[in-house]
Structure formats: C-alpha cells, structure tokens
Chain A
Amino acid sequence: MFEHVKDLLKAHEGLKHEVYLDIENSSMVPKEVVEAMLPYFSQYAYGNPTLTHKPGWEAFEAIMESSQKIAKFLGCKVIEEVNFAPGETEVNNLALMGAAFTMKGKGKKIVVSEIEPLSVLHVTDLLSKYGFTVVKIPVDGEGFINLEKLADVVDKETILVSLSAVNHEIGTIEPIKEALEIVKDENPEAIFHTDASDAYGKIPFNVQDLNVDLATLSSYKILGPRGIGVLYVKEGVKINRILEGQIGTQKLWPGVENTPLIVGFAKASELAFKDFEGNVRHMQRLRDKLIDGITGKIVDVRLNGPKGDKRAPDNVNISFLRCEGEALTIELSLNGVYVSSGSACTRRLLQPSHVLVAIGRKFSEAHGSILMKVTRCHTEEDINYVLEVIPKAVERIRGITGSVEMK
C-alpha cells in the first residue's frame, strides 16, 4: 500500500494556498525554532551533558539554560522542578505510573475525568490491572468536570488525581484551582497531576499559583519540535522512574538527553511568551473568526465545547451533521486545509472521540466533527482561505450523503 502515497501526494499538486490546523496531532516548527536547534546537532553541544569534555559541558550548559527558561515561564521555585522527557505521551505515563507506584502503600484510588487524553486514560486502564481502582469523573455538556462528584469521590484512599487544565479536543478551560482545593481538603497527601499541554503558552498557567504537584507540557503544542516534553514536579514531591538505565541530568528519564530538542522547546516557549497577551488575543481573534464564519455560513453545525473566555484561545471543534468526518478531512486536504476528525473510521464499529461522547454528542455527531487549532503564526488570510474552502467541502460531502437518514 505504501507506494500509493506518492499518487496521493501528487493529487495535491498546484494548491494555491495551504493552511495546517491539525496542531492537536503534530505541528509545523517555525523557522526561528529550527534555526535555534540546528547548531546543536553537529556544531556545538553534541556531547553527553554528564561527561567531562567540552561538547559535554556545552550540552550541560544548554540544557540548564533551557530548564531555566521554562522554569521561569511556568513559575517554578527551582529549575530542578523541570524534568525533560520525550513528549506528552511519555510524560503522562511517567506522571501517572510514577506517582501510583510511589504512593502504592498509602491507598489504591486514582481519580481522572472522562475526557482526559488517551495517554492518561489508557495508563489508568493499565493501572487498574495492577490493582489500582480508577474512578472517572463525568463532565457536563461543555466539558466542565463535575466538582461535586469530585468531592464525593476523593477520600483518604485516593493517592492520585489527574485532570487536564485545558481539554485537548474541545478547549474547555477546567476549574483546576477549585479541583485541587477539593482534593487537598479531602486528602492533603494525594498527588495532583494536570496535563497542561494545551494550557502552557495559551492561558495563564503558573504552577505556584495553582499549587499542583505534577504538570505535563508538550513541546509541539506550542510549535516546538516533536519528541520532547516536560514533567513539572513540585519541590518535595517524590515519584518513581518508570524506565531504568543510565541516569544523567534528567533524574526521572534515563538515557542520553536530546539537547537539540530541549533547546527547541525552550526557544518555542520564548516565542510563545515574548508577547503572551498579544499572542493570546491574536489566537482568540482567529478562533472566533473561524467559529463565527462556519456557524454563520453553514447550516446544521454544532460547536463542541464552551464559547468565549472559558474556551482555550486556539481551539475550534465543530460537528457537521450529515457529513462524515474522514471523508471531509480528505476533501479539505485536497483543497489545502489540514485538519483532523473525531471520527476514527478504522474498524467496523467505529469508535468516535471519547470526549465528544462524554459531553453527550450522538455518535453520528461525533463522526462529523472537525478539530482545528490556530496558532500565533496563522494569519487572517489563512482563516479567510479556510472559510472559503470549508463550505464547499461540506456541501460536496453532504451531497454524497444525500437522503441517508441520521437516526
């Protein structure tokens, strides 16, 4: 099947404009970030940071400076709170398994929400096989976690609570501060983890203000390189490693540090925070232009997630009724607009997005959902182009649906 991909790509030749909005699943890396990384591959700091030679010390310096930068943006007390590991998936695995196995003697209950990313939910599925009890907190129609239910569920047996600061699919900004207070009131010893991959660089997120124990960051979600992330671990909080090997500067992740990616993540952070308010306003403007443009132009659409200030500035998630999602992503791609869908059409029983199901969307609504994220690098022209393409694409796919009834 592999050879066909060349023909598929050929079918995209001659596009007059291209807009990539699938930041949820991977991202483009801006030139400034690539340029900041390049010398670290072959010119400089290519040594192992724990070894006693110049390229090693250069790497050590680069990693420490990158930690310092990210620590400052996060509001850390000390730079040791910043732990690099490869990507959101690995960092969430480390946070959850590391915390659960450390706390094993103190209780068995782990609490998450129904709409956490799969790198949280699948890990808790695994932990439940190791004897932990996992409780999933429901959310309302806009994706806000049910705080009353959280208060009911958390008890002295609870060792770990993991709730995303911003939902990765529908952009709901969760009441993390209130959730943390509820958890700590009930059991001060419980570890509170938040996946902040969609919060960092998008909404104000300060670990000291929030007082969380653990927080996950992902580089590519702020236009850094893929394959690098951070686990913030509050000073004094202890968690176990989940991999063993040669330990270097990163006490929670063995193996040789990936200096270029670490430098790239720090550079992407600098760019995101250089004019944080300006960047957020820019994303909000483009987000609302996209939402209003689609909901104003196309009938039978539904916005998934909240509107306005309680929605992440970058997130647009819309269900197009009577329009199957995978078909729509292909049609959009052929016109230069790159997005993803909550439809996962790869088995007979298609499992749509668990997030959309949790907020009460029907399967047929979830199958027609499209997720888009805007960045500080997108322009008004990009959004104008997307708004030109989407209505035509939806019309064509709906034309194929014809009189098929959505029961």
Chain B
Amino acid sequence: MSRVPLPYNPKILELFRHPKNLGKMKDATVTAVAGNPTCGDMIIFYLKINDEDVIERASFESYGCAANIATSSIVTEMIKDMKLEDAWKISWKKVIEAVGGLPSVKFHCGILAVGALKRAIRAYYQNKESSPSWLSEELTFEEKQALEEEELAKMISKRMKKEGRK
C-alpha cells in the first residue's frame, strides 16, 4: 500500500467546501447510483428532465473523498440546461479538466461521477418506448468502470463474510 501527496487545487477545495446542487431531489425524473461504500466511493445523481429531453435541474449526494465530491458537484453544473444528447457526450476527461485537474490516483472519482450520469440518462430512456440512436447499447467506458468497482466491492463483501464465519 502506498500513499501519494494530494495537493488539491483551489477549484476542488472550493467545491469541497461549498458543493453546488447538493442534496436529494424529491421530484427527480430519474435517479442513478454508482459505486459502493465498501470502496469508500459512492454517488447518487438526481435529474429533473423536461419533455424536450433537457436537464432542468441536477443534484447529487456523495459518500467519498474531496475529489469525489468536487467532480460530482461540477457534473451537476455542467449538465444544467443541457440536452440529454449533449450530456451523454461528456467524458470523464472533460470533468477532470473542468475541476482544474486531479492527481492521477483520483481519476477514478471523475470516472465514477460520469458513470453515474450516464446511468441516469440510460435509465431515463429505459422507461420510454424507444431510445434515441445516439444512445449506444454497449456500456460506455465510465459505466463499465463503475460496474467493475461495484463487482470488486461485492467480491470483498463475500470474502469478508466467508472469513467471518471461520
């Protein structure tokens, strides 16, 4: 196990201290979760989407480190008033750029935030009769990464339960 210095930049610190769009949204059109507390990293996104498929409001809750909180927060700002088609195009790299950069060991936080967003968009269309052509059937990189993290968490929980019985 190794540690690295984490000199977070002022933007991250600002978003950590004063996160935007924090909290549960009661009238959310769609909600999506990514990550797992076992991994110390979990995000919930709430989106209010109107009839024109535009995100009117977005909010989040996060169990995670400062980078996790900051990237989740900035995603909610980036996607406000955005068409779902455009929100779908946001990549984790754009998010990390938007927070002014992250230490590489924290990239996974940005990936998880985008994973949660893409899950929310996918979930929205799952409830509809048809999905738009831009929505790929194959999982995006960020969704795959989120899934992988959750699988790891499950594996650990199982292993710990087994060890607990011994």
A267 at the interface (CB under 8 A from B): no
Distance between Cα atoms of A347 and B111 in the complex (Å): 12
Asked if B61 and A402 make an inter-chain contact with CB atoms under 8 angstroms apart, the answer reads yes
Interface string of B1-28 (1 = CB under 8 A from A): 1111111111001001101001110000
Cβ-defined partner of A401 (8 Å) among B8, B39, B61, B149 = B61
Distance between Cα atoms of A4 and B19 in the complex (Å): 19
Distance between Cα atoms of A352 and B40 in the complex (Å): 9
Distance between Cα atoms of A326 and B66 in the complex (Å): 7
Interface residues of A in 202-253 (CB under 8 A from B): none
A15 at the interface (CB under 8 A from B): no
Q: Give B143 Cβ to nearest chain A Cβ, in Å.
A: 14
B108 at the interface (CB under 8 A from A): yes
Distance between Cα atoms of A8 and B100 in the complex (Å): 14
A271 at the interface (CB under 8 A from B): no
Cβ-defined partner of A344 (8 Å) among B1, B5, B62, B101 = B1
Asked if B37 and A407 make an inter-chain contact with CB atoms under 8 angstroms apart, the answer reads yes
A38 at the interface (CB under 8 A from B): no
Binding site for A on B (CB under 8 A): 1-10, 13, 16-17, 19, 22-24, 36-44, 61-69, 101, 103, 105-106, 108, 145, 148-149, 152-153, 156-157, 160, 164
Binding site for B on A (CB under 8 A): 1-2, 4-5, 7-8, 11, 118, 322, 324-327, 330, 334, 343-352, 354, 357, 360, 362-364, 367, 399-407
Residues of B within 8 A of A344 (CB): 1, 3
Distance between Cα atoms of A209 and B93 in the complex (Å): 61
Q: Give A15 Cβ to nearest chain B Cβ, in Å.
A: 15
Residues of A within 8 A of B66 (CB): 326-327, 330
Asked if A8 and B38 make an inter-chain contact with CB atoms under 8 angstroms apart, the answer reads no
Residues of A within 8 A of B19 (CB): 400
Q: Give A16 Cβ to nearest chain B Cβ, in Å.
A: 18
Asked if A334 and B17 make an inter-chain contact with CB atoms under 8 angstroms apart, the answer reads yes
Cβ-defined partner of B64 (8 Å) among A8, A11, A324, A405 = A324
Q: Apart from A326-B65, A400-B62, what 10 extra A-B contacts exist at CB < 8 Å?
A: A8-B13, A322-B63, A325-B40, A327-B64, A345-B68, A345-B106, A351-B1, A363-B153, A363-B157, A364-B38
Asked if B105 and A367 make an inter-chain contact with CB atoms under 8 angstroms apart, the answer reads no
Cβ-defined partner of B16 (8 Å) among A4, A330, A354, A357 = A330
Residues of A within 8 A of B105 (CB): 346-347
Which residue of A5, A346, A407 has the most chain B CB atoms within 10 A of its CB atom? Answer: A346
Asked if B16 and A363 make an inter-chain contact with CB atoms under 8 angstroms apart, the answer reads no
Residues of A within 8 A of B153 (CB): 363
Cβ-defined partner of B40 (8 Å) among A7, A324, A360, A405 = A324
Contact (A404, B44) CB under 8 Å given A118-B1, A346-B4: yes
In the complex, residue of chain A having the shortest beta-carbon distance to the beta carbon of B59: A402
In the complex, residue of chain A having the shortest beta-carbon distance to the beta carbon of B39: A350
Which residue of B40, B62, B69, B108 has the most chain A CB atoms within 10 A of its CB atom? Answer: B40
